Structure 1
Amino acid sequence: MADRHSRHRESGERRHRSRRSASRHHVSSPEEPRSGHGSRRTLSVDAIAALNEANAHGVSPRGSEEELERRRQERRERRRREQRAKADRDEYREVSTESPRAHRHRESRSTQLPPPSPPPPIQPYEDEDVASDYQSERRERRRKRTSKAHYESPRDPYPDMGHHDERESRRERKRTKKVAAGGSAATKKVQAQPKGAWQHMRGGGTNASTSYDSFDSKVEAYDDGEPRKKGFWTKKRILIGVGISIVILIIIIVAAVVVGKKGSKKSGSSTDSGSSASCLKCNLPSEDSIPSDAPDYLNPFNWYDTIDFNVTYTDVTVGDLPIMGLNSTWDNSAAANALVPALDEDWGSYADRPARGVNLGGWLSLEPWITPDLFAYDSSLGIVDEYTLCTYLGSSCASTLEKHYSSFVTESTFAEIADAGLDHVRIPYSYWAVEVYDDDPYLYRTSWRYLLRGIEWARKYGLRINLDLHALPGSQNGWNHAGHLGPIGWFNGTNGTQNVARSVDVHDRLSKFFAQDRYSSIISHYGLANEPKMTVISPSEVINWTETVYAMVRANGLNNSIVVFGDGFRGLANWQGEMSGYGDNMALDVHQYVIFNNEQIVYNHSEKVRYACDGWTQQSEQSMDTSTGFGPTLVAEWSQADTDCATHLNNVGWGNRWTGTYDTGNASDPLRALTPRCPAMDDTCSCTSANADPAVYSDDYKQFLLYFAEAQMDSFEAAWGWFYWTWWTSEASWQWSYKKGREAGILPQKAYDRTFHCNSTDIPEWSALAEWY
């Protein structure tokens, strides 16, 4: 680079020196050649003769009037030439070294031939005006020769850009503009092009070099064509370019903000129950690979989320249920933790190794108290369950619920469950994942693929699955978590028999699908019906249905899963002798809560822990003994909550027992509680503290909640294990979320490493705790 710079300065040395007026006296010695604008040339014969004639006649300083006028005119001409020279010099200094004009200055000097050997020196003239005439003539001839040599170069890369005559006239007009009427040099500043403008506007943006040589090559190409138009159009281009840049910048900023906001709105997954991927549909196939008539549940372009789904189109079904979204291979080598076997190993007896699990309630079967944000409507609209929600939303029910399915549970949910020392997951889902009937407003089959993806994520972390059909056609209990709050239409009502047949068909299809080999090691429990209300439905009819469905699913090949049936609120002791002979292939599911019982919710803090250790342990042991109970028993729902204060927990608008506002609307309902049922049983009973953030809990209250939870774990492990209700709640309800409770220190960090043990830990009295919250 240094050599290039040096070479350039040698060929155009005066580029960095001020110009000298040719009309001024200058003495040159033979030893020191003059530096001039062009190369020195010897005088012609005619010029020498003219000089000799002028010297012979002499020039008087005081001649005739014509002579005086001639001299004055020459002086004026000389001054104009000096002013033009000064203007050119000033302009040269002002022009940016990156501008095309600066390149032209460099090029005009660097392309000239090196000066020949100097001729004998010419003595200075005594008469200044005569010398001025000669120098003016000499300079004009040199300027024309240089201009012609420069513009008539045979190299012409841009031949369509005009001729040198037009270019010369433009330069002359430009020089004229720089001279004011009074003869002073104009001070108008030449606007330099922005950095890089040369390359972009002239097509030299690629492989551009920063050396002077490469710049000169671009200048030569530029000067052989028509120069850029300046003035109005140049400014217009700049303004247009700036405007376009601003618009693009605004679009980028807005897009970034929108994406950021979308990411921050992922309720349960991204910020709370797990991390969701930033791109929900990054693995779409070619659109022409999906048949145009494919239904939505087989068309990934109509899905909200395709993360970890196999989007290769297939209409293959098993049990008339689509396999679309599944990969053809799977890996059962993972274990949930070091204390339990991997999926491809036998679990052994649940009596010896009880399950420690958690529910994913409120995910695929909605419950208003778990996701109150989905039910935040005016009470006058009567939106109290999934049926009325989808009826109200109409066509937008699909997008609303699929966004919920996508964000409420993600892969990180299962990673966190395993990290908590849990080894099983119970997944509640509803019959409309399989089929819809009549005028059902439910979202058909969308939840099916999210169920399948959830199972695959559980597999990745070694978690076994308890499949729980939470809602049957017609509703098996009439509660909101069965889809439709109201009368029971399963067995009961006008369509009771038809709904029973439909429920059998649903299990026929489900059992055929999950009988596939890929599920033989991961589906540990297969639930038939969540909480059938046998206080209203005939127990004998439900028992007959249970045995019928059990025989069918086994015939369909579902042989490695334990079939689970609900206790129906009959009481564990009443199941002794029922459905005998199934051994360890069938298990009774009981849900244990003190807060939904008017007689137990009034227990104080120490009494609740004591009841968990004594009462529920005794029930578990008795139920496990076939002489006093059914036999295999598990507790698939329980909680550390000691109040029923969570919003919408007892159905939307029904109040709560704790403060005495629980009204079912049925005056003869023994479950109503219209007087306060907190331990104080007076007007001091309040839900404010119970619903508060655990950060404000006292140390005593935190200890009570931890001990109450761990006492229940101890008790239920006397049977076949437990599943906490539930993993996540979208708002408050801290005592119902295993994830939130663990973070708050009111649930153990590892489910298998606990502080409290019923047989070795003293139960404190917690006398300092108030008994009204």
Structure 2
Amino acid sequence: MARDTPSHDRPPRDAPSRDRDRQRRRRGHKATDSTGALLRNTAAPGADTSASESPSPRKQRASTRASSSNPLSVEGLAALDKHNHKKGYKGYEYDENYIKEVREKEARLERERMREEREVKRKEREAERERRRVFEVDGRIRGDKRREKRRDLTDDERGDKRRSHTDDERGDRRRHLTEEEREERRRRYEERYTPSERAERKAKRKEKDGQRTDQKKRRVISGPLLEEGGNDEEYEEYKVAEKRGGGGSSDVYTEEEWARKKKRKKIFIIVGISLLLLAIIIPVAVVLSKKKSGPPESKAAENASTPGNKNLNGISESDIPKAAQGTVLDPFTWYDTLDFNVTYTAATVGGLSVMGLNSTWDDSVQANENVPKLSDEFAYGSMPIRGVNVGGWLSLEPFITPSFFEHYSTHDGVIDEYTLCSKLGLAKCTTSLETHYSAFVQRETFEDIRAAGFDHVRIPFSYWAVTTYEGDPYVPKISWRYLLRGIEYARQNGLRVNLDLHGAPGSQNGWNHSGRQGVIGWLNGTNGALNAQRTLDIHGQLSTFFAQPRYKNVVTVYGILNEPRMVALNTNDVLNWTTKAIEVIRKNNITAILVFGDGFMGLDNWQGKLQDDPKLVLDVHQYVIFNTDQIKLKHTDKLNFACKGWTAQTLRSQDKTTGFGPTMCGEWSQADTDCTEYINDVGVGSRWEGNMNTGNASTSVLDPTCPTNNSPQCECADANADPSNYSDAYKKWLYQFSVAQMESFEKGWGWFYWTWETEAATQWSWKLGMAAGILPQKVWERSFSCNDTLDDFGKLGLPENY
């Protein structure tokens, strides 16, 4: 719209024109939006709306000047009004309601515009679908016609078709004839046919050539395309031909050109797809083969670098006798040779190999200033043992290394070392376990144990370190050399060793850490007596080997058998077997302290039993979480029980008139719940939450057993949380609970914490607990004593439901 010219510059008009102008001015200005559409009256609230809407000519001119060929936005109109007000004009007020209405109308118009665009696109899509449908139908029809035509050909016509190809071949040959050869062919042809016959044959050839040309021109792409599987690109070519005329007939390609084009395209597509599939499949297959087909490894093994094995550089495989090549005595079959003597030897002691040992050793090392060096005697009974276990290393335990077991579903039934090796097979299990042996406990492990202030280390191992029997799936003998290397690492750090036979033939307790979960086959069942004798034979070999002078100062505690489950066995049978084991071990000149398990009978029940050997010590394992009465105690009560209850038990057991005599605690932890994954076996829940379903009514716990009686609800999430999320009150309690147990067990011969390292269970790992600040940095540096007044942890805000 053009701007109005000022009145004083307008050319003179006639009377009718001036009348029309007056009428227009009387009609007045109507408020419009930015597109020029009329709006309702926008007078301010309370204004007199009965008056004429016609503005003065001046107002009309002011309003007219606000218009342009490109409508202003609402904001632009409002800005113009402000400008006019400054100039003395009084145009319409663009209040908030006015602006809101304008925006709503513009939004409505925009929605209508978008609907129209969508409708256009929809119609275009429908038209495209219709074209494709015609394309496909056309192809099917023409393909059917061609096939029908081929079926209707007579034998003569088929012969002509074949001859036409022959004629083409002849034409190719004729193009290569010399002039003399062509002249000779013409002469023979003229002799063979009369002029009239030659003219007739020429006419027939012309007719056939014309038919073939017409066929090629009429060839429709969609027919063979549809039969052979066309694609979108070919359809676009069909549309190009369609636009050129002929209803889809192609003047773009002949049939032969089309066939060649399609053949090349198919080859490129097939090659491209093949390369793409290979690029995807090969890496995925490699990853999956490692993840699924490869044996599971502990997290320590996954994160460890492959051993360098540089000490093999000085020897040759030919130095190994042929009879020993490929056996456990062949160092070239060892995954890790670090700190092993790889010079071949077939020497044995007690039938156990010394391969890997160096001939010299040094016992002048002192673990710390609080204990004597190895060559000096440790005052057992008056000097407390402060030791730690290296559990889950040579005898797998699922809660320590869950990475071995979490690969499998419940259907696989992999719940212990027996089922793991049965599932993997011997070769894969050997690879997996030796990698774990090499990585989970190393030289640095013993250095860190020494740095934490320990003076003893308990090394659990199982009978298959010595031998295996028919039907055993276990990896035989490989853990033996790692046991020997571990003892040497302990020696280098002044640490004395508690040798712990953790798994006996047949399983002495039916728990997963004995190797096989389920039925107890030791001193029990069909092969009970056989397995009892096998265990005695193993002790015969072990005691002969460790009676060597090199072990006198370092293997100072000799465990007879870990946790025989006497509450499920005949008590006298276990006592008689233990007596025989002591005789076998002492006969072979073991002078070390001998340790036997309390069998879960209770310390007070050992008075008067097995008291003949003055260097025999009763080993008790103390945990509050496996006892439904103790796990339900509140935090302050648990701490009080650790300070007073376990102290009283230890003192009674130490007194031969009320208990056995020398007593130590071979296992304990600071866990206050049984929430840790797999602590109650693989796939079994917890007493704490009341979902511990063992499949046996006598051992299952299906009611929550936390101190709140499930109100508030007993939950494991906070107990299993990362220790950085522990509250200050919880950290304080965990620290004091651990110190209380140390004090109690030091009233006897001392203790071994279970265990040094786990993959994730902080409350079961001294290494992780020390890093989290819930265990002392040195075992003797303690900021709490049971003589202190105990805090009320409920008042400190520590919940009792975790």
Q: Distance in 2 between matches of 1:697 and 1:340?
A: 35
Q: Indicate whether 1:642 and 2:672 are aligned.
A: yes
Query: What are the equivalent positions in structure 2 for 1:494-509 lying under 5 Å apart?
Result: 494-509=526-541
**Is 2:456 aligned against 1:427?**
no
Displacement of 1:582 in angstroms is 1.5
* Cα pair 1:268 1:728 within 8 Å, conserved: no
2:259 aligned partner: none
CA distance in structure 2 between the partners assigned to 1:763 and 1:727 by the alignment: 29
Task: Report the AA paired with residue 776 of structure 2.
Answer: P
1:664 and 2:694 are equivalent in the alignment: yes
CA contact (8 A) 1:592 1:637 kept: yes
Q: Against the structure 1 CA distance between its residues 557 and 710, is the aligned structure 2 distance closer, same or farther, given a 3 Å change threshold?
A: same
Q: Does 1:460 align with 2:497?
A: no
Please state if 1:729 is matched with 2:762.
no
Deviations 1:427-465 (A, max 9, x none): 100000001011100000000000000000000000000
Cα gap change, 1:531 to 1:266, in 2 (>3 Å) = closer
Deviation at 1:266, TM superposition (A): 8.3
Match of 1:404 in 2: 436
In the aligned structure 2, how far is the partner of 1:459 from the partner of 1:269? 24
Paired residues for 1:476-515 under 5 Å: 476-515=508-547
The answer to whether the aligner puts 1:370 opposite 2:400 as a matched pair is yes
Residue 593 of structure 2 corresponds to residue 562 of structure 1:
yes
Cα distance in structure 1, aligned partners of 2:538 and 2:372: 32
Matched, 1:580 2:580: no
Match of 2:323 among 278, 293, 297: 293
Question: Deviation digits for residues 224-254 of structure 1, max 9, x if unmatched?
Answer: xxxxxxxxxxxxxxxxxxxxxxxxxxxxxxx
Q: Shift of the alpha carbon at 1:292?
A: 2.0
Q: Which residue of 1 aligns with 2:583?
A: 551
Once residues 518 and 417 of structure 2 are traced to their aligned partners in structure 1, the CA distance between those partners, rounded to angstroms, is 12
1:711 paired residue number: 740
Note the alpha carbon deviations across 1:319-369, whole angstroms, 9 max, x for none. Answer: 000000000000001111111000001111x22111001111100000111
Structure 1 residues 624 and 630 mapped into 2: Cα distance closer, same or farther (>3 Å)? same
* Matched position secondary structure for 2:596: strand
Residues 263-319 of structure 1: per-residue CA shift (max 9 Å, x gap): xx9843797xxx878524543522111112215210110010000000000000000
1:618 aligns to 2:648 (yes or no)? yes
Structure 1: runs of 5 or more not aligned: 1-257, 259-264
Secondary structure of 2:459's aligned partner: strand
* 2:418 equivalent to 1:387: yes
2: distance between equivalents of 1:712 and 1:280? Answer: 43
2:785 corresponding residue in structure 1: 757
Task: Say if 1:411 and 1:761 are closer, same or farther in 2 by CA, change over 3 A.
Answer: farther
Which of 533, 539, 549 is 2:571 aligned to? 539
Distance in 2 between the 1:494 and 1:278 partners? 44
SS of corresponding position for 1:462: coil
Contact 2:307 2:335 in 1 (8 A): no
RMSD: 1.7
Give the residue type in structure 1 aligned to 2:774.
Answer: I
Q: Which moved more, 1:308-317 or 1:657-666?
A: 657-666
Give 1:173's aligned residue.
none
- Larger fraction in helix: 2
Contact 1:567 1:588 in 2 (8 A): yes
Question: Quick one: which of 347, 367, 392 aligns to 1:336?
Answer: 367
Q: Distance in 2 between matches of 1:266 and 1:546?
A: 35
What aligned pairs does 1:271-310 form with structure 2 within 5 A after superposition? 279-284=308-313, 285-294=315-324, 296-310=327-341
- Write out per-residue CA displacement over residues 519-554 of structure 1, whole angstroms, 9 at most, x where no aligned residue: 000111111111000111111111111111111111
Aligned residue in 2 for 1:436: 468
Question: How far apart in 2 are the matches of 1:268 and 1:571?
Answer: 37
- Cα displacement string for residues 612-658 of structure 1 (whole angstroms, at most 9, x for unaligned residues): 00000000011000001000101000000001011111011121101
Cα drift, residue 750 of structure 1: 0.3
Aligned residues: 502
Picking from 766, 774, 793, the partner of 1:746 is 774
Following TM superposition, by how much is the alpha carbon of 1:762 offset from its aligned partner in structure 2, in angstroms?
Answer: 3.4
Structure 1 residue 757, shift from structure 2 partner:
1.1
Kept in 2: contact 1:728–1:739 (CA 8 A): yes
Where relative contact order (Cα < 8 A, 6+ residues apart) is larger, the structure is 1
Matched, 1:603 2:633: yes
Report whether the alignment pairs 1:414 with 2:446. yes
Contact residue 434 and residue 448 of structure 1 kept, 8 A: yes
How far apart in 2 are the matches of 1:415 and 1:312?
26
Matches within 5 A, 1:103-252: none
Q: Distance in 2 between matches of 1:541 and 1:643?
A: 34
Shift of 1:763: 3.7
Structure 1 residues 280 and 644, CA, compared in 2 at 3 Å: closer, same or farther? Answer: farther
Partner of 2:236: none
Contact 1:707 1:756 (8 Å CA) reproduced:
yes
SS at match of 2:328: helix
Secondary structure of the structure 2 residue equivalent to 1:415: helix
Q: 2:204 aligns to what?
A: none
- Distance in 2 separating the partners of 1:270 and 1:493: 40
Pairs within 5 Å for 1:622-633: 622-633=652-663
Distance 1:509 1:581 in 2: 24
1:675 aligns with 2:707: no
CA contact (8 A) 2:640 2:790 kept: no
Report SS of the residue matched to 2:382.
coil
State the one-letter code of the partner of 1:359. Answer: N
What is the distance in 1 between the residues matched to 2:602 and 2:501? Answer: 21
- Asked whether the 8 Å contact 1:609–1:763 carries over to 2, the reply is no
Match in the other structure for 1:684? 713
Contact 1:296/1:303, CA 8 A, preserved across alignment: no
**Whole-Å Cα distance in 2 between the matches of residues 287 and 464 of structure 1?**
36
Q: Deviations over 1:675-700 (max 9, x none)?
A: 11111121611111111111111111
**Equivalent residues of 1:276, 1:411 under 8 A apart:** no
User: How high is the sequence identity, in percent, across the aligned residues?
Assistant: 54
SS of aligned partner of 1:656: coil
CA distances 1:479-501 after superposition (whole Å, capped 9, x unpaired)? 11111111100011111111011
Structure 2 residue ranges without an equivalent (≥5): 1-289, 291-296
Q: Tell me: CA distance 1:266–1:686, structure 2 relative to 1, closer, same or farther (3 Å).
A: closer
Rounded to whole Å, the distance in 2 between the matches of 1:281 and 1:406 is 15
Distance 1:586 1:280 in 2: 42
Residue type at the aligned position of 1:463: L
* Secondary structure of 1:443's aligned partner: coil
- In 2, distance between residues paired with 1:569 and 1:410? 33
* Distance in 2 separating the partners of 1:647 and 1:270: 20
